[in-house]
Amino acid sequence: MTDPAARFPAGLDLGRLGAYLATHRPESAGEPLRADLIAGGRSNLTYLVHAGDRDLVLRRPPLGHVLATAHDMAREFRVISALAATDVPVPRALLLCADPEVLGAPFYLMERVPGEVYRARRQTDRLSAGQRHDLAMAMMDTLATLHTVDPAAVGLGDFGRPDGYLARQVRRWAGQLDRSRSRPLPGIDELRDRLAATVPDSTGTGRLVHGDYRLDNLLAAVDPATRSMTVTGVLDWEMATLGDPLADLGLLLTYWDVLGGGVSVDNPVADGPGPRAGFPTGAELIDRYAARSDVDVGPLDWHVALGCFKLAVICEGIHYRHTLGQTLGEGFDTIGGMVAPLVAHGLATLREA
């Protein structure tokens, strides 16, 4: 039985989990069963589960105020299962539980992949300048590899609706915003309307896109032989779909150059990436991607503005959940302060385009 002295992190009943594993995945039901919340996630909750001598990772939606389609465990499980046979590094998917009665929400289990998530300056400052450069380039090489995957060849030909993807993204995040409003948000409606009125033609429509690609959604490790950095796993696939790869690039630049470079924003969750932390510039990242991809990387101003809008809505949703007492981990009490600078930068980017 599960150790009665074991800690039960919020959102994870180890007794129920142990009973479920004993029936559906007995080889993963080692005893004693313990778990820790992995800090840093802005949306879905991630736990490191210690099952005897084996470590697993469990993902489930946040506590309360779950936005429709935004925390789809089956979607994550399907995409990492499909990518297992490709060159995209993903954890091995182990078990999907769609029954919300077990833990209060659907969840899935995957293997633990060796590596570190680099999200804080105290981590990235330990890297040499060469290692920071290698890590940024490995991040872009991995994204280029993802965008070259043939969705139909890995069973994901029906994973999304590529036509109209960018316009649908604006509508989707506008809808998420309306479900998360709890305070005045100057400028955000203007940003939404400007994006909707200026949707560009899609490039490479029908590619598999991650939807939230950034440094702290990757696991990375130092190659012991060369001391260079490699990406060992791509995480957090809840927003993956078939769409326009430029959306991944625009959002990455939002994280990299906006939050990690030119705009003074206190990011309480991840302060490690970007030029301000000694990494290459966003322009260098795009050059690396373009050299390794067949995607036509044109002007990205609109896609960066979309990234600002999307991230502002995500932060506002987390802020709203925090006001309801439904967030776990540190830093969420100030995440609402990121919304206004993101909106301002998104508007400025569209005006200058």
Over the stretch 303-352, which tens digit does the pLDDT of each residue have? Answer: 999 999 999 999 898 888 877 776 655 666 778 888 999 999 999 999 88
Question: What single letter denotes the amino acid at residue 105?
Answer: A
Q: How far is CA 26 from CA 8, 29, 47, 158, in A?
A: 20, 5, 19, 32
Higher pLDDT, 47 or 4: 47
Closest to 273 measured CA to CA, from 287, 292, 259, 289: 259
Dihedral angle, C-alpha 230, 235, 240, 244, nearest 10 °: -30
Q: What is the reported pLDDT for 263?
A: 56
**What percent of the chain stands above pLDDT 90?**
67
Q: Is the pLDDT of residue 223 over 90?
A: no
243 or 273, greater pLDDT: 243
Return mean pLDDT, the chain.
88
- Which of 68-72, 213-217, 228-232, 235-239 comes out lowest in average pLDDT? 68-72
CB of 335 within 8 A of CB of 271?
Answer: no
What is the model's pLDDT at position 334? 77
Helical axes 301-323 vs 245-253, angle rounded to 10°? 70
pLDDT tens digits along 161-178: 999 999 999 999 999 999
Per-residue pLDDT at 4: 42
Q: How far apart are CA 169 and CA 157, in angstroms?
A: 19
The arithmetic mean of pLDDT across residues 106-110, rounded, is 95
Residue 265 has pLDDT above 80, yes or no: no
pLDDT at 272 (0 to 100):
66
Phi, psi of 331 (to 5 degrees): 95, -10
User: According to the model, what pLDDT value does residue 335 have?
Assistant: 83
Nearest CA to 208 out of 237, 183, 240, 250 is that of 240
pTM of the model: 0.90
